[in-house]
Amino acid sequence: MKCDFDGRIIKSIQRRGKYMIFNTNGEQALLVHLGMSGRFTVHAKGQEYHRAEHDHVVFILGNGARVVYNDARRFGFMIPVSQANWQTEAPFASMGPEPLSEDFTAPALLKRLKARRTPIKVALLDQSVVAGIGNIYASEALFEARIDPRKPAFDLSVKEAEALTSAIQSVLLRAIEAGGSTLKDYRHADGALGYFQHHFAVYDREKEPCPGCLCDFISTGGIQRLAQSGRTTYFCPHMQAHKMIALKKREKR
DNA sequence: AGTGTCGCCTGAATGC
DNA sequence: TGCATTCAGGCGACAC
C-alpha cells in the first residue's frame, strides 16, 4: 500500500514520554505510540519474513532490512504530524518533564501537583505531571519512596517530593538496565525479553511480603492491591502508611 | 481546569 | 470441553 512516507529518508528518531517521533526529509514526521501491546522488531536483509498475526505495518528500509510493527490489541497508533510544530501541539504542549532529565526536580514536581486533589498514584499516570510513567512504575516508585498511593497529590511534603523524584529515576534506570518489563507482549527490537518483572517490589505481588518486610507478615497479609481510576495499584500498607486520616480528623474539628 | 467513566481490541486466565 | 466473565504496560473523548 502506498503511503505519504514512501521514499522518505528517516533522518532521526526521537522519544518524548511514551511517544516515538520518526523525523524524515519531508514536511511530516511520523508519530508512533505502542499502546499496551505494540512492538517493533527488526529483520535483517535476506532474513525470511512471513506475515504473522497482528503484523500491521512493515517498513522496508533502503538497506533491505524490514521493521515490522505488530500489535495484538491495536491500542497503539501511528499518525503523521508536522515536523516543525509537533512539540507545541497536543499531547506534547502540556506534557510534563522527562523524568531522567535535569528538569525533573522535587520543586518542579510539587508545582505540577499543587492543584491536584487526585491521589498521587493517579497523578503519576497523568503524562502532564511527569512524562513516561506507566502503571507498573507508578506503584514501584511510590513503594520505593514509601508514599501511600492514596495520598492526595497536593499533600506531598517537600521531603516526599524529593524521595519520589529520586525513586522514579532509580526505578526507571534499573528497569532500563534490566531491559524493561515483559508481562506479556513487550519485546526488544531483536525479540529479546525484558527482565525487570523479576525485580518488582510490589507490582503483581498481592499477598506477598514486600522486600525488607519488617512487619508480622502472617497477620498483615503482605502487599495489597486496590483500584484507582480503573487501574490496579499495588502497595504495602505498612511501609507506605501516611497520616492523612489523623490529619483529616483534626481538620474537621 | 481538574476529574471520573467509558470505549477501543485481543488474548489469557479463571469460573461455572 | 465449552462458554461467559474478568482483566491486562494506555490514551482520548466525553460529561460534569
What's the mean pLDDT in A75-98?
95
Residue A86 CA to residue A81 CA, distance in Å, equals 6
Evaluate if the CB of A90 falls below 7 Å from strand B. no
Per the structure block, which three cell numbers stand in for A99? Answer: 523524568
Residue A189 CA to residue A160 CA, distance in Å, equals 37
Residue A44 CA to residue A36 CA, distance in Å, equals 26
A43-56, pLDDT tens digit by residue?
999 999 999 999 99
Q: Which of A165, A151, A116, A149 is nearest to A231 (CA)?
A: A149
A230 CA vs B6 C1’ separation (Å):
10
User: Which range (A26-40, A84-98, A151-165, A231-245) has the least confidence?
Assistant: A231-245
CA distances from A3 to A7, A38, A57, A108 (A): 9, 20, 11, 41
DSSP β-bridge partners for residue A77:
A33
A18 CA vs C14 C1’ separation (Å):
23
A72 CA vs B11 C1’ separation (Å):
8
Say which nucleotide is closest to residue A127, CA to C1' distance: C11
A35 CA vs C6 C1’ separation (Å):
20
A25 CA vs B10 C1’ separation (Å):
36
Task: Report the pLDDT value the prediction gives residue A250, as an integer from 0 to 100.
Answer: 37
What strand order describes the sheet that includes A19-24? A10-16, A19-24, A28-33, A77-82
> Which distant-in-sequence residues (6+ apart) come within 8 Å of A170 by Cβ?
A144
Per the structure block, which three cell numbers stand in for A156? Answer: 506531598
Strand B positions within 7 A of protein Cβ atoms: 1-12
Average pLDDT value over all residues in chain A: 92
Say which nucleotide is closest to residue A116, CA to C1' distance: B2
- Percentage of chain A with pLDDT > 70? 95
